[in-house]
Structure 1
Amino acid sequence: SDFALKRRIDIGYVFQENYLFEKLTVKENIIFAANLSGIELNDDEVYELLSKTKTQELIDKKINELSGGERQRVAISFALAKKPKLLLFDEPTSYLDQENCYLVIDVIQQIVHSNETIVFVVTHDKRVIASADNIFFNC
């Protein structure tokens, strides 16, 4: 349906467990994500997108060679490749060590402050909550 197509194009998701293609490279994953929305990315655009999540040095590595924190940051780039109007995060810092947790928080804040995408984060992580501009509780 038209609604399903619009949702696929306009909404990006970053899940607690990332769903990247293990045997593809980081670059191939990003290009695949963009192609799903009819977007063609050149090498410079892929590099720029990965730079937003500080993963540009991983561009030619396969997903199964990455750490959990690296995978999560690549998953954010994967979601951003669609150029979504709305980006949903489900527990984006789960399973991450402190350093990677703060890297992911920094990336989310950069996305929010770019004013290009509306961001919703579902989390129990107090570090993520402390960095939020607006907080909604569901008890």
Structure 2
Amino acid sequence: MGTQAAFGKAPYSMSMPYDAAAATSGFAAFSEFQGKFASIALEAASLSTDVFASSTKKALSNLKTLSEVRERSEYGPALAEFSQAQAQLAQDMAAALAEVMKSCGAAMSELTTEATDEATEVISEAVKPQYPEAAPSKPVGTASTPA
């Protein structure tokens, strides 16, 4: 029985096969990244909602103008004006949404570049003690310049 109790405690007396502080730091870094990612996505959603709300108000205004009582002969030109106004509205809305997407894309690109650089640095620092003879190498696919 004495060996069985000692055997049950054996896994707890062994050292951890990984660096717990590094794992905690990694989770914290990932959590920070996700927070920034969510912030960018929510900002884009907010701006997109503003664009849609503004466009809806303008479309309803165009419909109100179209639905005004007029002489029978004035309905053709009114419909043409409405169609033209709606086409312009669609074009403006597409441009505004493209700007939102452009700014969101730039922010996401910056965030991922930051995260990649940080991860590369952390990995390099973690590998240095294990492989001190390893020198920094060029990324795969880069051509060396002749001397």
Q: Same fold (TM over 0.5)?
A: no
Q: TM-score, normalised by structure 1?
A: 0.23
- Which structure shows the higher helix fraction? 2
TM superposition score normalised by structure 2 = 0.22
